[in-house]
Every structure is written in C-alpha cells, then in structure tokens.
Amino acid sequence: MTNLTQVNNGQTCRITWLLGRYSDIFRRLELHENDMLQMIQNQGRTLLFKHCGKKLAMSADMAVSIKVCDVI
C-alpha cells in the first residue's frame, strides 16, 4: 500500500484509506474507499487523475492522505 503521490502516470489503483484533515474535501469530490483511480499525470507537486469519468487535480499535500493499492 502506498499513497497517491507514488502512483505512476497511466497506472490504475484502488483507494484503500482516506486519512486526515481533508475528509470533507474528499467527500465533496465523491472519493470513497474502494473507488478506482487512473493517474493521468503525476508531476510530484500536482497530480491529475481520472475518477468516475471526471478528471481531478490535487496537490501532493492532499494526495499523501489517500492510501491506495495497485490493481492488477
């Protein structure tokens, strides 16, 4: 299990935990445990990923609070 900032471009992963002070924001973005994400672009400081047909951008500070596992 890693955090979202460690996911490579093009990789698909599943959310296992949503941690910390950003829980209200995650809820508004409709991010939930067991949801699938596909990383479009990870530039280290900013991330762009696809979730439920939408593209979302997020700072690395927020993304470290999202724990994910690889999807094979």
* pLDDT tens for each residue of 33-65: 999 999 999 999 999 999 999 999 999 999 999
Average pLDDT, the chain: 95
pTM of the model as a whole: 0.89
Q: Check whether 27 has a pLDDT greater than 90.
A: yes
Q: What is the DSSP letter of 32?
A: -
Task: Tell me the average pLDDT across 29-36.
Answer: 96
Instruction: Name the residue among 1, 30, 33 with its Cα closest to residue 17.
Output: 33
- Say what the pLDDT of residue 56 is: 96
- Going by their DSSP bridges, the two strands 2-3 and 66-70 should be labelled as antiparallel
